[in-house]
Amino acid sequence: MSNVRIGISPHFYAATHLLGKMVMNSYHINVQLVTVTDDNIDQNIALERIKYIINEQFADSVLVDQEEKEAIKLYENAGIKVIPFPVEPVDQIVGIALHCKLDSIVEEKVIVTDLDITSTASGVSYLHGEDEVRGPFEDNGWWNSAEPECTKTKKPRGKKIVSLPTTETWKSLGYEWEEDHTPKDVTIEVIVDTQNKSKNESRENVVEFKPNDKK
């Protein structure tokens, strides 16, 4: 059913690049949602999409200002997952970015009403709502895209380092909406065996027409 309020409280580890250094951090977030669709499958898919962004994109990544091009190049050449931000990724900025991204990927199947974020580094909670001014996130970027990617990892130069694939889609991940599942065409072949029919069977459906005998 729709208009049901639900919440999840994920936790993830990530690093931030601040003042020229990589600082490890631990983030706790609370996400409050309201269901829009009546489809239980799509509601569950929306939750799985949210978990994917947090656990597979943000977790174990380095959050960095997109202007730190040299630092980004070093991380990428080392095969480290990088998420670029339009400004320095302090906790408040990370929270706004997450709110924008999560609200985009659920595509109005559910609504992300509120999100609060706390890190062990700051110990302060930042609260974000759907009516909040998005500041630097008003511009287009991965944060307002419905696709699963939060960044694209370039292939490292010079050294042979395995890089992460960057072509994931919700379909390839198995998280496409129920209405997007197009059933495959099914061909049914009917074979009628007329050779093994007995004479009685072959005459069962025979209708004989005889002319009327009129004198």
Q: Read off the pLDDT band of 196 (50, 70, 90).
A: low
pTM: 0.76
Terminus-to-terminus CA distance in the chain, angstroms? 78
pLDDT of residue 194: 57
- Going from N- to C-terminal start, the domains of the chain cover 5-180
Closest CA to 93 of 25, 182, 155, 177: 25
> What does pLDDT average to over the chain?
84
Can you say whether the dihedral through the CA atoms of 94, 100, 102, 105 is positive or negative? negative
Closest CA to 107 of 148, 68, 168: 148
Do residues 156 and 165 touch, judged by C-beta distance below 8 A?
no
Task: Give the pLDDT mean for 130-147.
Answer: 93
pLDDT of residue 158: 47
Per CATH, which fold does 5-180 belong to? Tetrahydropterin Synthase; Chain A (3.30.479)
